[in-house]
Amino acid sequence: MAGRMIEFEANGSTAPGYLATPDGAAAADAPGVVVLHAWWGLTEPFRQACDRLAEAGFVALAPDLYRGRSTAQIEEADALSSALNQQAERVSSDLRGAVRFLLKQTAAPGAEGRDKLAAVGFSLGGAYALDLSVTLPEQIAAVVTFYAAWPEPDFRRARAAYLCHFAEHDPYESAELATAMEQALRAAGRPVTVYTYAGTTHWFVEANRPDAYDAAATALAWERTIAFLNAELRRA
């Protein structure tokens, strides 16, 4: 497995991202996954998420939505994410470019389901993953979110299956909001599986957040994620 920073085409320009691919023969049969980072930026946990997916036989690309900036401080992360909200057109271009890049890398003409991708998002990135499933329903077949609840998209437009991981004690995503999103997905007829991890809080899968990281919950969440992605993307 090899991971590296790359540039991919995005609306006539280029955008940066971290790409991880499986080793050897596994790469020839590897579905694609867009990985969307939390408000910290493209920090080590999200590059490691790409590496973990590549080890499981997926091609994973994490676009760097902050274009090289990152932080470990909540106040600065809040400011960076707020600034990103003012760049909706550029972000949309980056996300669509990432999808196009992965489709070129992984599409297998004539193989059912192999022209589809997954989106895996963390917190802020989870909202972008949910939105991608609505704006690009023909391309996104599966969505995995980690501590992200956003019931606002019109999920009737989506064609994806959903796997949602939540923390039990989360000051950023309330249980009520998570329930509202699950209900919105079910009302739209979308298959959705929701897990809440006892004793955890926001950022529980990010090893560089010692105040929140939970190794056991992380291992279980990733086991469930890989099984879900295999089921949804390896249908041919």
Domains of the chain, each with CATH number or no CATH: 2-233 (3.40.50.1820)
- CA atoms of 23 and 172, how far apart (whole Å): 38
pLDDT greater than 60 at residue 29: yes
What pLDDT was estimated at residue 77? Answer: 97
pTM, two decimals, is: 0.95
pLDDT of residue 112: 44
Q: What is the pLDDT of residues 46-105, one digit of tens each?
A: 999 999 999 999 999 999 999 999 999 999 999 999 999 999 999 999 999 999 999 998
Question: Phi and psi (nearest 5°) for 215?
Answer: -65, -40
Is residue 18 a contact partner of residue 29, using CB atoms and an 8 Å limit?
no
212 residue type, one letter: A
pLDDT tens digits, one per residue of 91-102 = 999 999 999 999
Q: Which of 99-113, 114-128, 153-167, 176-190 has the lowest mean pLDDT?
A: 99-113
How far is the C-alpha of 47 from the C-alpha of 181, rounded, in Å?
A: 27
Q: Write out pLDDT tens, residues 128-142.
A: 999 999 999 999 999
Which tokens in the block code for residue 121? 């998002």
